[in-house]
Amino acid sequence: MRILFSLSILIVYTCLACLQAGAACDQIPAGQTFWVRLLQPVSSYSSKSGAVVRGILAQSPQCDGSPIFSAGTLVEGRIGRIQKVGMGFIHESSSVQIDFNRILPADSAPIAIQTRVVEVDNGRERVRKGVMYGIRSTDNLQDRVTMRLMHLPTWNPSSLWIVLAYRATFPISPEPEIYFPAGTDLRLELSAPLPVQSGLAPVLANQEFDEPTREALDDDVLALTDRSSTPAGQDADVVNLVFLGSGEQVKNAFEAAGWTGSDAVSTRADLHVFAAFVALKNYSHLPISRQSLDGRPADSMWQKSFDSLEKRDHLRIWREPQQWKGETAWASASIRETGAVFSFRRRKMIHHTDVDLDGEREKVVRDLTLAGCVDTVYNAPRARMPLYSRNATGDEMRTDGAVAVVQLKDCERPEFETVDASSNMLSHPHSRFTRYLRTQVLSVRNLWRSNAAYGVYDVTRMTVDGIRSKRSRDRQEALARDAMRNAQPVPLAARGLASLRATH
């Protein structure tokens, strides 16, 4: 009976696979998102409307769950709307719109697409209806404090000059112009269906392990510890990656992919954090908190950020005691941080994390693949892993339980065609004195906010935003709790079949 049952399950999955293979995928629906990496800088200060912009596919649009174009395929667009701050007399903030309208496969004719940008990876820019908006430089900690001090002249008129003198002598002005260097990742959304040409077929970015190797990896992955631990012994991040290769290959892979290390926790690092927080910029070597795996500290920690202190991708890597077929195995837990707040209970700044662990796992594999450092990838199932859990700071985490096993190789960065864009493109006024004058102009323009009416509006807006944020978190937690109650354990065979279909 057990044999007959196993054969029945196998026949059902085989039939499903045949049906999916037989169903032709003739178009990719509108609303699907994918990632593009810029090959040239874009600046609200220097770029011109109508200028051509090129990038490469960091993640291809997918048809029936399979990528259609190879990683590194050229994508072309034009700058549409663009607005610079300049000296600040007209505009307080900048904006840029890039309309990517063609995919340029190497072996076929250009393919027209209709897209809009929906996200700047780890960026501080807001995106609305395809337009990327920069920050307002006067919306920072110093200006918030001094704007409220402007109420002092109501009781003591001479205090106005003290506040104005302080702002003129010690200006802290985050850069309001938008600047995207080459290598910036943008998430695009198809605004119209993309027909799939008959000559296009799903592609694989990496090789696949053979079946005996996959079975051996399944057993080894099941022996891994599921989660890391904080120094206090709390369950922390989920182990969702394993790298196979030498320590030098791991280091070279992340460096080639543009990831950076982590500074040790220290007073100097705390000062860097405070400076980045005040200036509304990133800290590319932001310290990563210590966690252990089976009592072992992390051998290395890596992160990737852009222009925001609040957002970054990061992971810790632990060397496993046992080798795998003569190769060193490195377990890793990756996670994406999406916001930062100061915790009075912990007396330090803490980050909130993205609930989707699988998307971050795929981001790491995608980055290393695009850098030419990945040979083979396999998503090994782990049936015992809970689909929903919480990290040490209480944030929700969702995962399918799989561990991406990544066979590394010596990096061979692909040579992508680049546009002859000036490497000296200015991101802001070159002269410091000019930037100082711009700061004073923007500060004077900001004076209209230093009144009781705007103060009431500002407090009301922050209160409403806080209530909405709390309600949103409550809804997400309620949905997660319902999903945890209703979730059925996924059979190991089913997860294994799904992982065989996964491509990176």
In angstroms, the CA 227 to CA 293 distance is 7
Q: Does residue 471 form part of some domain?
A: no
Specify whether the CB–CB gap between 337 and 376 falls below 8 A: no
| Residue where a domain stops, chosen among 153, 173, 203 | 203
Residue 34 pLDDT: 96
DSSP 258: T
194 and 267 in a single domain? The answer is: no
What order do you get walking across the sheet with 227-229 strand by strand?
A: 235-238, 227-229, 292-293, 296-297
265 and 395 in a single domain? The answer is: yes
Match 């083979």 to its residue by tokens: 376
If phi > 0 it is left, if psi is from -120 to 50 it is alpha, else beta; for residue 295 that is left
188 and 223 in a single domain? The answer is: no
Residue 463 pLDDT: 81
344 and 227 in a single domain? The answer is: yes
In angstroms, the CA 287 to CA 197 distance is 47
Residue 494 pLDDT: 38
Q: Does residue 323 form part of some domain?
A: yes
Residue 201 pLDDT: 59
63 and 117 in a single domain? The answer is: yes
269 and 376 in a single domain? The answer is: yes
Q: Does residue 362 form part of some domain?
A: yes
DSSP-derived 3-state class of residue 271: helix
Residue 303 pLDDT: 97
Q: Does residue 256 form part of some domain?
A: yes
Q: Give the chain's residues under pLDDT 50.
A: 5, 7, 9-23, 421-422, 487-504
189 and 264 in a single domain? The answer is: no
Q: Does residue 161 form part of some domain?
A: no
| Residue where a domain stops, chosen among 147, 170, 203 | 203
Full-prediction pTM beyond 0.85?
Answer: no
Which two three-digit tokens encode residue 455?
């103060």
Q: CB atoms < 10 A from the CB of 387, how many?
A: 16
Q: Does residue 316 form part of some domain?
A: yes
In angstroms, the CA 318 to CA 298 distance is 5
DSSP 458: H
Residues β-bridged to residue 127? 132
In angstroms, the CA 438 to CA 442 distance is 6
219 and 335 in a single domain? The answer is: yes
Q: Does residue 220 form part of some domain?
A: yes
124 and 220 in a single domain? The answer is: no
Q: Which domain holds residue 308?
A: 211-412+490-501
407 and 318 in a single domain? The answer is: yes
- Total H helices, total E strands in the chain: 10, 28
Which two three-digit tokens encode residue 107?
């072996």
Residue 12 pLDDT: 44
Q: Does residue 421 form part of some domain?
A: no
Domain count, the chain: 2
378 and 309 in a single domain? The answer is: yes
187 and 233 in a single domain? The answer is: no
Residues β-bridged to residue 120? 186
What's the CATH number where 95 sits?
Answer: 2.40.128
Full DSSP string of 234-257: -EEEE--EEEES-HHHHHHHHHHT
